[in-house]
Amino acid sequence: MIRVFEDQDFEAIEEIYTLAKLDEFRFERGPFELIPLRQDEERLRGLMESVIFVYADKGIRGYGAVYENEIRTLLVHPLFRRQGVGNQLFGLDRKTRYALRRKKQRGGKSALSAIWF
C-alpha cells in the first residue's frame, strides 16, 4: 500500500537510506564515511521539505520524495528490489519505464535516472 510518510516511518526510511548508500559506495576505491541521514543536514532538509510517499506492506519496503516537479529520492530496501516497489511508488506503467530507459541509454538526463529498473 502506498501512503504518505508519517513520523513513525523515519527509522525505517533511515535504514533504507543507509543500505542504499552502502550499495552506492561499494565500488569506491578509497575510504568513505557514510553520514547517517539524521546527521546529514542538507539531505535531511531536502527530504523533509518534500512530499514523501512510502510503500508499506508488513513494514516499509521503499520510499520516494517529490519536491515541486522534481523526484528527489526513490530508494527501495535491498530485499524488495526488482519487485515493482519503485514503479508503484511513482505509478510508472510499462510504456513510461521503456521510454525513460531509452532516454537514459541515449545519454539523456531524466529525473528518474536513479531508479533501478
43-85 pLDDT tens trace:
888 888 888 888 888 899 999 888 887 888 888 998 888 888 8
**Which pLDDT does position 9 carry in this prediction?**
92
38 assigned to some structural domain: yes
What backbone torsions phi and psi does residue 46 show, to the nearest 5 degrees? -60, -40
DSSP 8-state code for residue 35: P
112 assigned to some structural domain: no
Give the cell for residue 10.
523515519
The domain containing residue 30 runs over which residues?
2-91
**What pTM value is reported for the model?**
0.72
**Which pLDDT does position 13 carry in this prediction?**
93
Number of domains in the chain: 1
The CA distances from residue 52 to 11, 26, 43, 55, 111, in Å, are 14, 26, 13, 10, 16
117 assigned to some structural domain: no
31 assigned to some structural domain: yes
54 assigned to some structural domain: yes
43 assigned to some structural domain: yes
10 assigned to some structural domain: yes
Bridge partners of residue 76, in order along the sequence: 62
Residue type, position 25, single letter: F
Give the cell for residue 39.
546527521
We report the CATH number of the domain holding residue 75 as 3.40.630.30
59 assigned to some structural domain: yes
CA atoms within 13 A on the CB side of 1: 7
